Chains A and B, each alone.
Chain A
């Protein structure tokens, strides 16, 4: 193909995507960077000016209740617990579904359901299910397990657990589908050979299944971590904006509140930048680390 023609072809094919991303993602990113160095808030919405690093210093030192470090710690717990269960449940179910069993496609179809339901409906439905008197979770706990009912949404720890339960429910199907696809691509002969060599299922899991689904799972896990870290919907809607008294926030909902309820624009922009940088470094580190182990095989 002629070089000019080729270049026009590439530009025409990639152009639209990059124009959209430029307008909606990259330009706002730079804009956000500028705001993060400014004093923009509700009172200075038009007459803002650059004030240097003040907002960044505020992010790390402001005695907000809760402060940055407490929220950050909570975000790490939130992300780790969620992704851990997503992957473990997802891979576990995929292993079960990858056998010859009756009703396989029915199981698979129904197990994908949590993924198919819009997140805000999931959040509001689970919020209803966590209701103290009428929620079905407490009804099950009191009626069938004869345990005392739990104040899910009124105390910080329980409310946070409620958010995590909701998000675990919501997220395992994605990992299950990815794992299922990966499992299907493993040739059956490998297992047969291992069986002849006397490997039990644990050996097969450790030495065949896990190494072979790893290259597919690692990118999915990285994405999962980033998505969970930044998941605003569940926390915001299940805990109704961080209730009780802002104790259930993760970083993203904390910023959302600073920007859209408290109108601290400069501060919110700086905190957003901090979140982005944390995720960027984490992903680079994680990808590099896992790639390093991959080449060791």
Chain B
């Protein structure tokens, strides 16, 4: 009886692992595909082989990318934009979320609801008016416009995440801090903010992603090639009749690295930071 139960458990475990392995392969394969493309020698770019490391693998595309293309410029541009957006996003969302979580005030409900409603606006609805606005304000081909737009894209979700997370931190902590002589602001950034680290991490990650991987707004706003961010540069390899697949692959791989590392490092926080927020959301 006991033995039978054990074999059954063993088989179940085996099936579990098998299923997980299949899904993992599906999840990882397209990423490996990018690596494969980037390593192919120029004469074998269109290959019908399924090998991950291609025959005569070469790093030529990477060298070409850094020596003959303005790749470093795009990286710098993107890094700058993403950094500013992340910083502003985290600061704004952590503050707004705190006020929404801790106080009752007129317009609180409408404020929270309107944050949700922004998620329903189709991008095109805002893109066209924004484009016209930016022309009038002379902000086409400037980072100021695009930084504000990116910050706003991630903000509503981030504020909700922060608010939900603060809701799980008991208010008595602030009261205790106040008895010890802290004012409201000190209680916020000395006591509550450190406790909300998982949600802050999520907020930062989402703001970073919003800026690092956005293509469609950038394509309309940044027309000067000197200002191009990575997505625009990458898309230019794919232009017209001849896709420069090798360069595209190499650049994509380099673009993926920071985001993937961030995700992998933060993946444990991701689970707690996201869900605690939405339990009460």
Residues of A within 8 A of B (CB): 1, 5-7, 9-10, 12-14, 16-18, 20-21, 23-29, 31-32, 35, 89, 93, 96-97, 99, 101, 103, 105, 107-122, 124-126, 128-129, 133-134, 136, 139-140, 143, 169, 173, 177-178, 180-182, 184-185, 215-216, 219-220, 223, 226-227, 230, 232-233, 236-237, 251-252, 255-256, 259-260, 265, 268-269, 272-273, 275-276, 279-280, 283
Query: A20–B152 contact, CB under 8 A?
Result: yes
Query: A93–B23 contact, CB under 8 A?
Result: yes
Q: How far is the CB of A45 from chain B (nearest CB, A)?
A: 9
Given A21-B156, A116-B260, A268 contacting B124 (CB threshold 8 A) = yes
Nearest first, the 7 A-B pairs at minimum CB distance are: A181-B275, A118-B213, A272-B125, A24-B152, A28-B129, A116-B263, A31-B129
Query: B152–A113 contact, CB under 8 A?
Result: no
CA distance A72 to B134 in the complex (A): 31
Per-residue CB proximity of B250-271 to A under 8 Å, as 1/0?
0010011001101110011011
- Nearest residue, chain A, Cβ from B252: A121
**What are 27 pairs between A and B in contact, CB < 8 Å?**
A10-B99, A13-B95, A18-B96, A18-B111, A20-B148, A21-B118, A24-B152, A32-B126, A96-B16, A108-B267, A116-B264, A118-B231, A122-B30, A124-B248, A128-B33, A139-B48, A178-B274, A178-B275, A182-B279, A185-B279, A219-B278, A226-B119, A227-B119, A268-B128, A275-B125, A279-B120, A283-B120
Query: B124–A272 contact, CB under 8 A?
Result: yes
CA distance A105 to B265 in the complex (A): 11
Q: How far is the CB of B235 from chain A (nearest CB, A)?
A: 7
CA distance A111 to B26 in the complex (A): 9
CA distance A182 to B281 in the complex (A): 13
Given A17-B96, A24-B152, A116-B256, A96 contacting B119 (CB threshold 8 A) = no
Q: Of B116, B123, B129, B279, which is within 8 A of A215 by CB?
A: B279
CA distance A118 to B267 in the complex (A): 17
Interface size of B as a range: 35 or more
- Nearest residue, chain B, Cβ from A101: B16
- Nearest residue, chain A, Cβ from B261: A116
* B186-217, CB < 8 A from A: 209, 212-213, 215-216
* B91-138, CB < 8 A from A: 91-93, 95-96, 98-100, 103, 105, 111, 114-130, 132-133
Query: A24–B125 contact, CB under 8 A?
Result: no
Write out the residue numbers on chain B whose beta carbons fall within 8 Å of the beta carbon of A7. 105
Query: B103–A20 contact, CB under 8 A?
Result: no
Q: Of B20, B30, B212, B274, which is within 8 A of A181 by CB?
A: B274
Write out the residue numbers on chain B whose beta carbons fall within 8 Å of the beta carbon of A111. 20, 23-24, 27
CA distance A273 to B33 in the complex (A): 39
Query: B275–A9 contact, CB under 8 A?
Result: no
Query: A125–B117 contact, CB under 8 A?
Result: no
Query: B271–A116 contact, CB under 8 A?
Result: no
Given A20-B152, A28-B130, A178 contacting B27 (CB threshold 8 A) = no
Per-residue CB proximity of B8-51 to A under 8 Å, as 1/0?
00000100110110011011111101100100000000111010
Q: How far is the CB of A225 from chain B (nearest CB, A)?
A: 10
Query: A17–B155 contact, CB under 8 A?
Result: yes
CA distance A31 to B111 in the complex (A): 20
Given A230-B122, A255-B122, A126 contacting B30 (CB threshold 8 A) = yes
Q: Of A13, A169, A177, which is within 8 A of B26 by CB?
A: A169
Q: How far is the CB of B268 from chain A (nearest CB, A)?
A: 8
Write out the residue numbers on chain B whose beta carbons fall within 8 Å of the beta carbon of A252. 122-124
Which of B27, B47, B98, B132 neighbours the largest number of chain A CB atoms within 10 Å of its CB?
Answer: B27
Query: B126–A28 contact, CB under 8 A?
Result: yes
**B143 contacts the other chain (CB 8 A):** no
Q: How far is the CB of A138 from chain B (nearest CB, A)?
A: 9
* B144-170, CB < 8 A from A: 148-149, 151-153, 155-157, 159
**B75 contacts the other chain (CB 8 A):** no
**B272 contacts the other chain (CB 8 A):** yes
Query: A136–B33 contact, CB under 8 A?
Result: yes
- Nearest residue, chain A, Cβ from B26: A169
**B247 contacts the other chain (CB 8 A):** no
- Nearest residue, chain A, Cβ from B280: A215
CA distance A112 to B264 in the complex (A): 8
CA distance A20 to B154 in the complex (A): 11
Beyond A17-B95, A28-B129, A124-B235, 10 extra complex contacts between A and B, CB < 8 Å: A17-B96, A29-B126, A32-B125, A35-B128, A107-B20, A110-B24, A116-B263, A118-B259, A182-B279, A230-B120
Q: How far is the CB of A38 from chain B (nearest CB, A)?
A: 12
CA distance A140 to B105 in the complex (A): 60
**B234 contacts the other chain (CB 8 A):** yes
Write out the residue numbers on chain B whose beta carbons fall within 8 Å of the beta carbon of A115. 263
Query: B122–A117 contact, CB under 8 A?
Result: no
- Nearest residue, chain A, Cβ from B120: A279
**B238 contacts the other chain (CB 8 A):** yes
Given A114-B27, A117-B256, A17 contacting B124 (CB threshold 8 A) = no
Write out the residue numbers on chain A whose beta carbons fall within 8 Å of the beta carbon of B119. 223, 226-227
Query: B148–A110 contact, CB under 8 A?
Result: no
Write out the residue numbers on chain B whose beta carbons fall within 8 Å of the beta carbon of A215. 279
Query: A25–B185 contact, CB under 8 A?
Result: no
Query: A101–B34 contact, CB under 8 A?
Result: no
Write out the residue numbers on chain A whose beta carbons fall within 8 Å of the beta carbon of B276. 181
